[in-house]
């Protein structure tokens, strides 16, 4: 399962499908109406938000031990998403040892990011159709909340055989079936660590909701910029970075869209990019190779 398989090419933005008829535009459906086959996603989103709210009411101050674990697990998950799913699997901007890749996939799933095939298929579609009506997670047609949350349960599943055939084969398929037990482990890990009810709520639902919105802001907030000539509205949002913990770097989303084939999202020394620093560390240790960097950028 080392990432040696060539990724599915991202189709040019000019090769778009016809816009869906108004009666089929999912962003014009009532917000509470999930798409066919997406009721489970909707139920999950409702459940973790209700549990997170209950946890914040019952345990507004979880204690330093729980808070420390919150940062550790949140950071663990953030690296899985920004390095594992985004830079490694979706764009193939580096290669890693197989066990590193598997660790990052597990971390991303523990973070609530879903199976690798699902995440990557949606993301490649997003880049191919950026900020058009065929871009299922853009705020340009459905507004902020459509891009932030609603598309997750009101869009039909993307065809993985088209958008990520490299992840629809071999051992990658196992992760689809592993998703329910990993989510349960993620939700109940506070109990497993012996941290009681405060740990259950904070390390489970509160952490998952925080991670969810941290990722969703990349779809919504960072696509509210001025349109470029190709219609792309991606932008950098500097203050979002610190809120993303180890996914700090995803906030330089405008940079990423101008050169999606690079593993480095930052372009200036003052633009913090935690994922890039970790990638450089892995490369120095011989655990990563083939890192695609800007011309002239050192390690």
Contacts for 250-254: CB closer than 8 Å, 24+ residues apart = 250/82, 250/86, 250/215, 250/218, 250/275, 251/218, 251/222, 253/218, 253/222, 253/223, 254/222, 254/225
Give the chain's length: 299
Burial of residue 199 (number of CB atoms within 10 Å: 0-12, 13-18, 19+):
buried
Cα–Cα nearest to 247, from 119, 75, 106, 101:
75
Cα–Cα nearest to 162, from 19, 17, 4, 26:
17
CA distances from 299 to 34, 276, 282, 293 (A): 45, 10, 11, 9
Per the CB < 8 A criterion, the answer to whether 267 and 234 are in contact is no
Query: What residue has token string 């120095």?
Result: 284
Contacts of 46 (CB under 8 A, 6+ apart): none
Q: What is the pLDDT along the chain (299 residues), one digit of tens a residue?
A: 444 344 444 554 433 444 555 557 999 999 999 999 999 999 999 999 999 999 999 999 999 999 999 999 999 999 999 999 999 999 999 999 999 999 999 999 999 999 999 999 999 999 999 999 999 999 999 999 999 999 999 999 999 999 999 999 999 999 999 999 999 999 999 999 999 999 999 999 999 999 999 999 999 999 999 999 899 999 999 999 999 999 999 999 999 999 999 999 999 999 999 999 999 999 999 999 999 999 866 65
The pLDDT score that the predictor gives to residue 23 is: 52
CA distance 211 to 77: 8
């Amino acid at each position: 399962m080392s990432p040696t398989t060539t990724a599915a090419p991202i189709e040019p933005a000019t090769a778009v499908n016809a816009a869906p008829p108004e009666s089929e535009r999912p962003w014009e459906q009532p917000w509470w109406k999930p798409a066919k086959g997406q009721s489970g996603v909707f139920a999950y989103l409702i459940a973790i938000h209700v549990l997170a709210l209950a946890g914040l009411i019952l345990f507004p101050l979880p204690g330093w031990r729980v808070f420390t674990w919150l940062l550790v697990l949140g950071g663990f998950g953030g690296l899985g998403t920004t390095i594992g799913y985004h830079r490694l699997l979706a764009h193939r901007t580096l290669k890693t040892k197989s066990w590193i890749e598997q660790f990052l996939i597990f971390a991303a799933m523990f973070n609530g990011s879903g199976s690798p095939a699902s995440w990557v298929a949606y993301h490649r579609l997003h880049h191919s159709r950026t900020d058009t009506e065929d871009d299922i997670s853009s705020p340009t047609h459905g507004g902020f909340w459509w891009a932030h949350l609603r598309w997750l349960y009101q869009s039909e599943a993307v065809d993985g055989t088209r958008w990520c055939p490299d992840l629809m084969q071999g051992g990658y398929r196992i992760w689809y079936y592993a998703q329910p037990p990993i989510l349960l482990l993620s939700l109940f890990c506070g109990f497993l660590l012996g941290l009681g009810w405060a740990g259950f709520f904070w390390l489970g639902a509160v952490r998952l909701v925080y991670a969810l919105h941290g990722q969703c802001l990349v779809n919504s907030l960072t696509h509210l910029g001025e349109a470029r000539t190709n219609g792309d509205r991606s932008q950098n949002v500097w203050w979002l970075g610190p809120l993303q913990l180890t996914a700090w770097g995803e906030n330089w989303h405008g940079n990423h869209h101008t050169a999606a084939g690079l593993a480095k999202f930052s372009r200036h020394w003052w633009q913090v990019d935690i994922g890039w620093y970790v990638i450089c560390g892995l490369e120095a240790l011989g655990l990563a190779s083939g890192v695609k960097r800007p011309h002239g950028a050192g390690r």
